[in-house]
Chains A and B, each alone.
Chain A
Amino acid sequence: MMPIGHYLFLSLALLLIGAIGVVTRRNVIIVLMSIELILNAVNINLVAFSRYYGDVAGQIFALFIIADAAAEASVGLGIMIAFFRNRETVLADEMDLLKW
């Protein structure tokens, strides 16, 4: 079987790519997609450790994280549609209504 370190490094790589996407992109939809990528990297870790210890609890937590990602995506996209209706933009640096 594969050593657990390989899964951890894959998860680390996906998390870093997601973090770079969150910081560098201006489009809010792509920022949300990068957050989904980060949550997915966490899921790989959980399932790998669940296999390592032979305990199914890690997979159950991965399912909770998927449900959480669904909730976060729906609310985030709802906010984005409402914002786009008001301001006609999806760029993060033009969202300055709360900036003083």
Chain B
Amino acid sequence: MLDSVIFYFFAGIAVISAALMITRSNAIHSAVFLITTLLATAGIFLQLRAEFLFIAQIILYVGGIMVLFVFVIMLVRLDVPLPRIRSPWGKLVAVFVAAAVAGEAGFILWLARKIPGQGLLAPLPAPSAKLPPNTEEFAKGLFGAYLLPFEIASVLLLVAMVGAVVMAKKRTDTP
């Protein structure tokens, strides 16, 4: 019961502020609503007993990525009023894409409803009295079976950092 209340609270916040994010014309307002969505998602992670991801979401997404976004929004000049829709076709394309994806996913979910024992309405396993410590299990997996992807991710971050510096550097006249 308490789980349902917490889930619907955070899910409502996430969906409403995501809808507000793509409809505001001011980019800073959009960024603030995206931060609200990400924080609500962090709450859902906590409700799913993923404590490490809860902290990582807040520190990395809200504290890192969104701060970068807000910096860039303040760097570029956006005082011209922006029309919201790219072209008359944009809205049609958006409606078509949304309807197609929603219909497809709804069809798949409707099919999956009939699988006995593991359908969509099968409840998640109840938490035992004492769960294993989430961060410890996470670290065992991350530095055990997934050590190579972890190292590749660090190389990816290094490459992205170098690329971002090169892109944002002011070009001098002599090559």
How many A residues touch the partner, as a band? 35 or more
Chain A 4-25: CB-based contact to B (< 8 A → 1; otherwise 0): 1111111011111111110111
> Chain B residues near A33 (CB, 8 Å)?
21, 30-31, 34, 69
Interface size on B, residues (CB 8 A): 84
Chain B 67-91: CB-based contact to A (< 8 A → 1; otherwise 0): 0110011011110001111110011
Task: Tell me if A25 and B125 are in contact (CB < 8 A).
Answer: no
> Chain A residues near B168 (CB, 8 Å)?
77-78, 81-82
Contacts A27-B27, A73-B69; A20 near B98 (Cβ below 8 A): yes
Task: Tell me if A40 and B41 are in contact (CB < 8 A).
Answer: yes
B87 to chain A, nearest CB (A): 7
Contacts A14-B14, A52-B125; A67 near B30 (Cβ below 8 A): no
> Chain A residues near B141 (CB, 8 Å)?
56-57, 60
Nearest-neighbor residue (CB-CB) of A86 within chain B: B171
Q: A77-100: which have CB < 8 Å to B? A: 77-82, 84-85, 88, 90-93
Task: Tell me if B156 and A67 are in contact (CB < 8 A).
Answer: yes
Task: Tell me if A24 and B109 are in contact (CB < 8 A).
Answer: no
> Chain B residues near A40 (CB, 8 Å)?
37-38, 41, 61
Chain B 84-116: CB-based contact to A (< 8 A → 1; otherwise 0): 111100110110011001100100010000000
Interfacial residues, chain B to chain A (CB-CB below 8 A): 3-4, 7, 11, 14-15, 18-19, 21-22, 27, 30-31, 34, 37-38, 41, 44-45, 48-50, 52-53, 56-57, 60-61, 64-65, 68-69, 72-73, 75-78, 82-87, 90-91, 93-94, 97-98, 101-102, 105, 109, 120-127, 134, 137-138, 140-142, 145-146, 149, 153, 156-157, 159-161, 163-168, 170
Query: Which 7 A-B residue pairs are closest in the complex by CB-CB distance?
Result: A5-B120, A78-B167, A71-B160, A21-B22, A78-B164, A1-B124, A23-B94
